[in-house]
Amino acid sequence: MHMISVGVNGYGTIGKRVADAVCAQPDMTVAGVAKTRPNYEARGAVRKGYDLYAAVAEREHLFAEAGIDIAGDVADLVGASDVIVDACPSGVGAENAKLYREYDTPALLQGGEDADVVDTSFVARANFDDAVGADLARVVSCNTTGLSRLVAPLQEAYGIEKVRATLVRRGGDPAQTDRGPINDILPNPVHLPSHHGPDVKTIFPDLDIDTLGLKVPATLMHMHSVNVTLEAEPTAADVRRLLEAENRTFVIPEGLGIDGAGAIHEFAQDADRPRGDIWENCIWGESVSLAGRDLYLFQAIHQESDVVPENVDAIRAVLDAADAETSTARTNEALGLDEGLTGAVGGVAQPADD
């Protein structure tokens, strides 16, 4: 099996998780990671054995002054890699795209970049084949990923007439000390729709979807209140079974007593997930309800980690290294997604019917 050499430009919240996920894959290796400054994450990368590169040439001296050896600058990393995962802050990836094209190295940008910068947007469950052979692909944002993972099986099984979703978004990640609000609830944005609906349409161009957004003083997860008008009329039990069969949707059993995002994180930590990460959509089984053809449910999205398996699959897609079924199965097995969160703690029975 050819080992894919993956460079990670930006070793922060997403980048460090992607690097660890790449290391877990049987067909990938980390060529190195790039950082702008010698902070605790740079030291963590060195401790893990990753070759460290300076993302900004003018700051190379800072690493030497901090006693950290580097393997070169970001151009050296691009040259040493089969593919680059760009996990830099929003807007920076678009600037970096010129470098990736110069070196003829395929690259993955993240959801903070505009869709028109790349050849295609990507969610493994929905449009894997669109990214095959692409020079630049965009792994869409955590919220768009979560909505797309939900839409894909529903559309296949029942057809979708309309999606309406209200997103209650965390104010910032736990380490983002400069984010807010601190004591407020903000319509974000005030105008409708929020950017999430149009972003989902980069994956499902013909989908009729409206989204609204709020921002709250929390750091744990995003929360979605979703209403989908289906073309068919399944039962709630039918929909639960459909979503339970998906590897990247976790239908929370009623017997677990999980009543919020904090409990989900605690559950993930008890299941020995690295950093307490939750790669799956977390859907409360009790919330799955049908009124005629109208489906309602609540789902929580871990913004720090749900795009990680998507990045791994997108690597194989742009290099045409595996088909969708092979790649997602390989990723899921390597990360433990095939066992799932419930399986990790012995399983809990679901209700048999409504």
pLDDT for position 176: 87
Query: Can you read off the two tokens belonging to residue 270?
Result: 């008890």
91: alpha, beta or left? (left if phi > 0; alpha if psi -120 to 50): left
Render pLDDT for 63-109 as a digit per residue (tens, 0 to 9).
Answer: 999 999 999 999 999 999 999 999 999 999 999 999 999 999 999 99
Cα separation of 155 and 96, whole Å? 36
pLDDT for position 57: 87
Cα separation of 20 and 8, whole Å? 11
Higher pLDDT, 260 or 352: 260
Q: Which residues of 112-151 are buried (b: 16+ CB within 10 A; e: fewer)?
A: bbebeebebbbbbbbbbebbbebebbbbbbbbbbbbbbbb
14 in helix, strand or coil? helix
Predicted confidence (pLDDT) at residue 344 exceeds the cutoff of 50: yes
The CA-atom distances, in angstroms, between 57 and each of 49, 73, 135, 181, 295 are 22, 6, 25, 35, 52
Name the average pLDDT for the chain. Answer: 95
Predicted confidence (pLDDT) at residue 296 exceeds the cutoff of 70: yes
Render pLDDT for 116-173 as a digit per residue (tens, 0 to 9).
Answer: 999 999 999 999 999 999 999 999 999 999 999 999 999 999 999 999 999 999 998 9
Compute and round to an integer the Cα radius of gyration of the chain.
20
Active site residues: 142
Q: Model confidence at 343, in pLDDT bands (50, 70, 90)?
A: low
Average pLDDT over residues 291-307: 98
Render pLDDT for 15-35 as a digit per residue (tens, 0 to 9).
Answer: 999 999 999 999 999 999 999
Predicted confidence (pLDDT) at residue 352 exceeds the cutoff of 70: no
